[in-house]
């Protein structure tokens, strides 16, 4: 990374952490520690269990993000290895922030060990980012078309304008699939170029991207349902708008931004306990699993590297002439 890019990254991280700390304080300051704990305990076990299930299914979908990227670079790496790299990189990257850089660095460690080039890893990260954008666009388009009133209130624009924005989001995903079917030369925008994936991979990106965000929205809704009758469309609207705010602010893991945005959209329907529980279930639990798995993987990689080195040097030592007395 060049000096300017490094400085820009560090400045972005500092601003992101500062903004996250401010918004987290703003979101939690109206509540005492006891109120937060009681609000979490008020969530029934059944709601927790369903939220955990939706979270697990979401991370399963996220492995398909990497799968489409690996197949895009025409690599036949087995799915279990792809799933391992995906879970560890995103389990850590989604929490520490700047997921494109942090998860990309972790992905490189795994995929490079399995023989992929830096260019291939960069393409996998890019494809994953495109899948995120497509999924957010499709789910956002659906909630804006079916539930324009809530978005209109938040953005302070007319419902017809929201409907048009939603339709444009859906049209973008459709255009992506059409281009992947008919465009075989690289798509060029100024100095940036992108080779469209095969249409089957493009459809897979749209499907798994949308299903992933739909599952995360269901996880959030399930926790809020513990105390309020929350509709899925409104919960999905809140989650989509929160993700847009996270992309704009670059707050690490959306810390503070997600909570403040969802509470602003949902009002009292989003209890502080539901938001804290969601943070723990979707971010902290995967992080707690991904960290030890990454350490174990690193140990396995080092042992394999040492054994490979020993195997390569053994024939050379055997061929070396012995010294005479």
- Give the list of residues 6+ apart from residue 305 with CB closer than 8 angstroms, or none: none
CB 58 within 8 A of CB 215: yes
Look at the alpha carbons of 70, 76, 82, 83 in this order and tell me if their dihedral is positive or negative.
positive
* pLDDT, the chain, mean: 84
CB-CB contact of 276 with 224 (8 Å): no
Query: What's the average model confidence in pLDDT over 189-215?
Result: 89
Please tell me the predicted confidence (pLDDT) of residue 25. 60
Between CA 212 and CA 261 the distance in angstroms is 20
Instruction: State the pLDDT at residue 63.
Output: 95
Q: What are phi and psi of 192, to 5 degrees?
A: -100, 135
pLDDT confidence of 150, banded at 50, 70, 90?
confident
For residue 197, pLDDT over 50 is answered with: yes
User: Does residue 313 surpass a pLDDT of 50?
Assistant: yes
For residue 318, what pLDDT is reported?
Answer: 56
What is the rounded CA–CA span in Å between residue 237 and residue 150?
8
Q: What is the pLDDT of residue 260?
A: 82
Terminal alpha carbon distance of the chain:
55
77 SS3 class: coil
Select the more confidently predicted residue: 273 or 103: 273
């Amino acid at each position: 990374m060049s000096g300017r890019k490094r400085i820009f990254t560090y400045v972005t991280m500092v601003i992101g952490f500062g903004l996250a700390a401010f918004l987290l304080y703003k979101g939690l300051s109206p509540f005492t520690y006891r109120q937060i704990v009681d609000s979490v305990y008020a969530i029934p076990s059944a709601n927790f269990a369903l939220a955990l299930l939706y979270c697990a299914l979401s991370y399963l979908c996220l492995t398909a993000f990497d799968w489409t990227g690996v197949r895009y670079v025409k690599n036949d790496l087995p799915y279990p290895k792809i799933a391992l790299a995906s879970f560890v990189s995103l389990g850590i990257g989604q929490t520490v922030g700047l997921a494109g850089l942090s998860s990309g660095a972790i992905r490189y460690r795994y995929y490079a060990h399995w023989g992929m080039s830096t260019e291939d890893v960069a393409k996998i990260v890019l494809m994953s980012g495109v899948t995120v954008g497509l999924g957010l666009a499709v789910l956002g388009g659906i909630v804006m078309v079916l539930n324009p009133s809530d978005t209109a209130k938040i953005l302070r624009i007319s419902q017809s304008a929201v409907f048009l924005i939603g339709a444009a989001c859906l049209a973008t995903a459709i255009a992506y699939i059409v281009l992947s079917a008919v465009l075989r030369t690289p798509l060029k925008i100024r100095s940036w170029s992108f080779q469209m994936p095969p249409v089957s991979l493009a459809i897979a990106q749209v499907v798994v991207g949308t299903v992933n965000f739909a599952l995360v929205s269901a996880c959030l809704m399930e926790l809020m349902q513990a105390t309020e009758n929350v509709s899925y469309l409104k919960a999905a609207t809140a989650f989509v708008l929160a993700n847009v705010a996270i992309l704009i602010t670059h707050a690490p893991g959306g810390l503070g931004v997600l909570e403040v945005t969802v509470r602003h959209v949902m009002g009292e329907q989003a209890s502080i306990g539901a938001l804290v529980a969601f943070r723990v279930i979707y971010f902290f639990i995967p992080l707690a699993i991904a960290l030890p798995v990454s350490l174990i993987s690193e140990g396995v990689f080092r042992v394999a590297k040492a054994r490979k080195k020993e195997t390569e040097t053994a024939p050379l030592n055997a061929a070396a002439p012995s010294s005479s007395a």
